Amino acid sequence: MLFLTLVVSHIFNRLNLPAVIGQLILGVILGKGVLNVVKADNDVNLFAEIGVILLMFLAGLESNLKLLKKHLVPSITVAIFGVILPVALTLITSLIFGINFKESIFISVVFAATSVSISVEVLKSLNYLSSASGTVILGAAVVDDILAISILSVMSGTLTGAFSMQKILMLLGLWVLFGVLIVVLHKWVIPQIIHLADYIEATQAPTIFALVICFVMAYIADKVQLDAVLGAFVAGIAVSNSKYYKEKIGSNIEAIGYSIFIPVFFISIGLNLEFSSFLKDFWLIVFFTITGVIGKLFGAGFGAKLSGFDLKDSYVIGSGMISRGEMALIIGQIGFSAKLLSEEYYSAVIISVILITIISPFFLKHSISKNPL
């Protein structure tokens, strides 16, 4: 897998295309869809999960906290409109194709989620991550994740009959505590922990401290039913204030991540893609893919325009929000396990999510080429 990652990355870079597209397509070729030589087993999934956590930690390291604060309101606006339009379009599409109302609502939630990990990779490769547009994409993706998880939590409870206001309030309370914990750790705890590296006589002490912080924050976020990648992203922002950041931590974790874990994550997305139901559900997949792209592109783009960005920046932001990736796949799997998504439409939804994920870097690269820094 790693050797083939080098090969496809070289080819796509020579073609002036983001290497991540080649890695996504490689996953489809190696998986169930074509050769079926790599299984998405526990080992691959573990490496992939570590990969996406490290990727989002690196995104946090490279983020500008002042810009994130400055663009907080635009990020929320982009996220809200980036959820409303995809939900509406997917719901209408599902109902037109005769899917029952309960299942249609759940499918629309799957397509509401944004997975910014793919966009982060493209933004990093084009040195666009710390721009105003890149910052809004990151901020909006965090808000988007929280919105999608909130909708999923309420929906799972109401549709399965397990809804309780007490459970919702408890969940909100946990999220508030998590927010307070982030502020406390960011201001007083994490800087002191990283500073301990001055007194530790051990190889790569700052990097090890940073990794510990990354995984602990990812674990806590997961335990309060937020996405682990959100915890990793927040940890990256906190560690970015360290004096070691540019000198040691960033480059070391980049070497660890891109040498093994992050490529496995990108490959893993395509491993479960099957074409057995592709012809049967062809038009449903086509419409889910089209509405999935349009919903985020125009919904998030409109939110950006409403927040004062020009058309070119709005195009970049809308393009950066298209990708669904692991977040939508996780929500789809949860719904399938909870009988909210039937086996009849599960494959069509998953294929559409993967197709959108593969398409999204093309839009983002094109939008940035039209609006260089």
- How far does CA 162 lie from the centroid of its chain? 28
The answer to which of 60-64, 233-237, 282-286 has the lowest mean pLDDT is 60-64
Domain count, the chain: 1
Phi/psi at 126 (nearest 5 deg)?
A: -105, 10
Q: Which residue has the tokens 């990727």?
A: 55
Domain that holds residue 179: 1-370
Write the single-letter amino acid at 105.
I
Tokens for 323, please give them.
Answer: 């990708």
Contact 95, 87 (CB under 8 A): no
Q: Who contacts 93 (Cβ-Cβ below 8 Å, separation ≥6)?
A: 284, 287, 288, 291
User: What is the rounded CA–CA span in Å between residue 134 and residue 52?
Assistant: 18
Quote the pTM value.
Answer: 0.83
Among 114, 138, 141, 113, residue whose Cα is nearest residue 124: 138
User: What is the rounded CA–CA span in Å between residue 259 and residue 19?
Assistant: 14
Band (pLDDT 50/70/90 cuts) for residue 217 is very high
Q: Which residue has the tokens 């990093």?
A: 124
pLDDT, one tens digit per residue, over 329-344 is: 878 877 776 788 888 8
Portion of the chain with pLDDT greater than 70, in percent: 94
Q: Is the pLDDT of residue 262 over 60?
A: yes
pLDDT, one tens digit per residue, over 15-57 is: 888 888 899 899 989 998 889 999 988 999 999 999 989 998 9
What torsion do the CA atoms of 132, 242, 119, 367 make, to the nearest 10 degrees? 30
Q: Who contacts 106 (Cβ-Cβ below 8 Å, separation ≥6)?
A: 155, 159, 335, 340, 341
Q: Is the pLDDT of residue 134 over 70?
A: yes
Band (pLDDT 50/70/90 cuts) for residue 365 is very high
Q: What is the CATH number of the domain that holds 288?
A: 1.20.1530.20
Tokens for 211, please give them.
Answer: 């990794």
Q: How many CB atoms lie within 10 A of CB 81?
A: 25
